Amino acid sequence: MRGLVPEALGVQLFRRYVGGLAPLSLGTWMQLVALGYLTLRVTGSPTAVGLVGAADGIPAIALALPAGAAGDRWPRPAVLAAASSAMGLISLALAVAAGTGHASLTVLVLGAILLGSATAFDAPTRQAMVADMMPRSQLLGAVAVTATVGSLTRILGPAIAGVLLGTAGAAACFAAMAALVLPYLLVLARNRWPAPERRARTGGAAAELLGGLAWAIRDRTARSVLAAGWVLGVLGVGYMPFLPVFARYHLHGGGQVLGIMYSVGGFGALAGGLTIGVLSRRLQRHTLLIVAAPLYGASLFTLTRVTSLPQAVPCLAGISLGFLAANGAMLSTLQAEAPPGLRNRVLALYALGYSGGGPLGSLLYSALAAEASLFGAIAAGSVVVGAALLWCGLSLRLHRLRESTA
């Protein structure tokens, strides 16, 4: 039985951290569904859905470098506490706006921008702190465990959101997110966290901000991973804000169908996360990428062609499983390779591909939808994503062979 439990969970501090992260992740998924659904309901415009999705990424692009530097300069638990507190307050404000009928497109865009600002500081710092508390050999397993938590909450969160949207409305989803921040804050406050080695400042503010980028440019592995990660973020994640459009116009469903779509994808990722977590010591990161490339690309391509929920189910599961494998391999590679004093800045560059690149992809798909088919553009993007992931996996494999023969 012990062999079925991910080895990473043997680290007590990591177990506590995951216990606090789970409620926050649940609320985040509920809020994501509510934001897209409310935008489409208020405006009736697929373009507006893409605009709100893009608004979330504006601060992620603008704040990527300072957010990365903040987690390397100040204690990471303090940075996480500040970011998650901001998320809770913003969610509470959105709950009030939705509940009082003041959730206009302007309010929703502003809320997305503020949430994106908090996420810019939260995402890289969260991953850097996982690397701080885990042995190098268990990083892939730890990433898989956190991804499993995300997958489980991805199943439960949208399902709960779908029920709330049909009964209490979007305001209840935003209010739930505000409340679910509290357990995470409690865990951060009540535990002692490892303090990583910090590099002495050797230059001015510009040098400090660009330190992670300079290292990534020099390092062959980091260059390959960041390039593939950004392609995955722009073209692979950028389609997600359009799931409400797909649910409404392709599957002819409302909030409950949308909730099912988000939840179904989580089952594939949940199974994959548990498997990778248990087998992490036996798996090679480049192998995961080589397998994930065709799985993700083919599943997303096929999703753009289906017209019923039963047809969409295996596609969504394949997308989630492929994403989990690719993201786990690339993220754990950067966690292991980046110097501790630069880790937050390097991971901020990686997070930029999702928090910033995803909304850019949404804008790109919105622009292409005005000229051609929205889902035709997403299908083309899926081919590019598959090729980029395959290239990265082969590059990591070649680099490993060169090291072994050097």
347-391 pLDDT tens trace = 888 887 776 677 778 778 888 876 668 888 899 999 999 999 999
Is the alpha carbon torsion for 213, 332, 127, 268 positive or negative?
positive
Q: What is the pLDDT of residue 365?
A: 86
- pLDDT at position 3 is 56
Cβ neighbours for 337, distance < 8 A, ≥ 6 positions apart:
219, 221, 222
User: Which one is predicted more confidently, 265 or 41?
Assistant: 41
- Residue 132 to residues 196, 260, 285, 395, Cα–Cα distance (Å): 6, 36, 20, 27
Question: What pLDDT was estimated at residue 1?
Answer: 46
When the candidates are 3.40.50.720, 3.20.10.10, 1.20.1250.20, 3.20.20.80, the CATH number that belongs to 7-191+206-405 is 1.20.1250.20
| Model confidence band, residue 200 (pLDDT cutoffs 50, 70, 90) | low
pLDDT per residue over 170-185, tens digit each?
Answer: 999 999 999 999 999 9
pLDDT at 282 over 50: yes
Q: What are the tens digits of pLDDT across the range 121-157?
A: 998 898 888 888 888 878 888 888 888 888 788 778 8
Which pLDDT score is estimated for 62? 83
Cβ proximity of 321 and 271 under 8 Å: yes
Confidence of residue 198 (pLDDT cuts 50, 70, 90): low
Alpha-carbon span 66 to 74, nearest angstrom: 12
Question: What distance in Å separates the CA atoms of residue 115 and residue 58, rounded to the nearest whole number?
Answer: 10
Residue 88 vs residue 352, higher pLDDT: 88
- Sign of the C-alpha dihedral, residues 342, 143, 279, 134? positive
User: For position 73, what pLDDT does the model report?
Assistant: 85
The Cα–Cα gap between 394 and 224 comes to 10
Question: Which 3 state secondary structure label does DSSP give 338?
Answer: coil
Where in 272-385 does DSSP place strands (E)? none
Residue-wise pLDDT tens digits, 237-263:
888 878 888 888 878 777 777 777 877
Q: What percent of the chain has pLDDT over 90?
A: 31
Percent of the chain with pLDDT over 70: 92
pLDDT of 406 above 80: no
Residue-wise pLDDT for 93-131, tens only, equals 999 999 998 989 999 999 999 998 998 899 889 888 888
Task: Give the span between the Cα atoms of 129 and 70, in whole angstroms.
Answer: 13
Residue 14 confidence (pLDDT): 92
The pTM assigned to this predicted structure is 0.78
What DSSP letter does each residue of 312-366 carry, written as one string?
HHHHHHHHHHHHHHHHHHHHHHHHHHS-GGGHHHHHHHHHIIIIIHHHHHHHHHH
* Segment of 45-54, 157-166, 258-267 carrying the highest mean pLDDT: 157-166
pLDDT of residue 23: 95
- Map out the domains of the chain as residue ranges: 7-191+206-405
In this predicted structure, the answer to whether residue 310 has a pLDDT above a threshold of 50 is yes
Q: Please give the residue that has the higher pLDDT: either 374 or 189.
A: 189
Residue 389: the pLDDT is 95
Give whole-number Cα distances, 346 to 84, 162, 189, 300, 399, in Å. 21, 36, 26, 28, 20
- pLDDT in the model for residue 41: 87
Task: For residue 41, give the nearest of 112, 105, 106, 97 by alpha carbon.
Answer: 105
Average pLDDT over residues 12-19: 92
